[in-house]
Structure 1
């Protein structure tokens, strides 16, 4: 761990600060994980696709491996305190609490977790507007 690493916004057991995210991570972790992965991957993976893969891996008791990869990736991307050993332990022994923490972290960084990467980016980019749809094509 380097001195320049920043702290997580909330601890691993601060579920009361976001009850809805905690409930989602507890009762439907594949959806919460899919949302996290889509944001961490900056839209290169779909929430549904990565969530389904996570669910499939959980049937074989190997979902923690995918979670470990994404927790590490998120920690590196946002320069958060921690270590590979800590990521491993969180993924193996406290996976649902870790998913809750990651979900809250991205919310605290300004992401609306329910709308996905593309919509978050379009809302964050000031002055960028979609061109109006022209019915019937262009005319002279």
Structure 2
């Protein structure tokens, strides 16, 4: 198998594509063996709009996050979940996990990973769990600022942001006209 540049490029893929529609690697199957080759032209991974330690760009949110991180987490979670969970519910669950287990960073790092997947953000400066474990407030502030720079008014919540942007929230069913009546 191809392992060194001096060995030359990998042989051309034969067979038929297996998956690959969601990005990542494209798999080809030929003769019972499945081989992975990196897909050229993947969408580039975007950089965060602010750094992890740029907390003082928004001093108000920085203070709120340091004093009561469940508020900031709730606001972030509502936007990332696209309104399927409310700010209050997410914040209360975060506070409960924090009080009972002291492992709230594990819970919030899943939302960071979900946010990165939604917006194509880099996993920087290190893995999501490490960022939240080492500096939970800075991570929450960075996520808050990122959503704010993407046009969300974090105090409004998902549904009000969708109304403000003139879009119907994704969680609401389409308006149905009544059928025929007698």
TM-score range, shorter chain: 0.7 to 0.9
Do residues 23 (structure 1) and 63 (structure 2) align? yes
Pairwise CA RMSD of aligned residues? 1.7
CA separation in 2, counterparts of 1:3 and 1:49? 34
CA separation in 2, counterparts of 1:88 and 1:30? 17
Distance apart, 1:86 and its partner CA: 1.2
Q: Which has the higher helix share?
A: 1
Matches within 5 A, 1:95-114: 95-114=136-155
| Residue number in structure 1 paired with 2:122 | 81
Do residues 47 (structure 1) and 87 (structure 2) align? yes
Unmatched 5+ residue regions in structure 2? 1-23, 25-41, 168-182
CA separation in 2, counterparts of 1:103 and 1:125? 22
TM norm structure 2 = 0.65
Aligned pair partner of 1:118 in 146, 159, 162: 159
Aligned pair partner of 2:50 in 5, 10, 15: 10
TM norm structure 1 = 0.84
The structure-2 alpha-carbon separation of the partners of 1:125 and 1:17, relative to structure 1 and needing over 3 Å to count, comes to: same
Q: What is the number of residues matched between the two proteins? A: 125
Distance apart, 1:3 and its partner CA: 6.6
Distance apart, 1:62 and its partner CA: 1.6
Moved >3 Å (runs of 4+): none
| Residue number in structure 2 paired with 1:38 | 78
| Structure showing greater Rg | 2
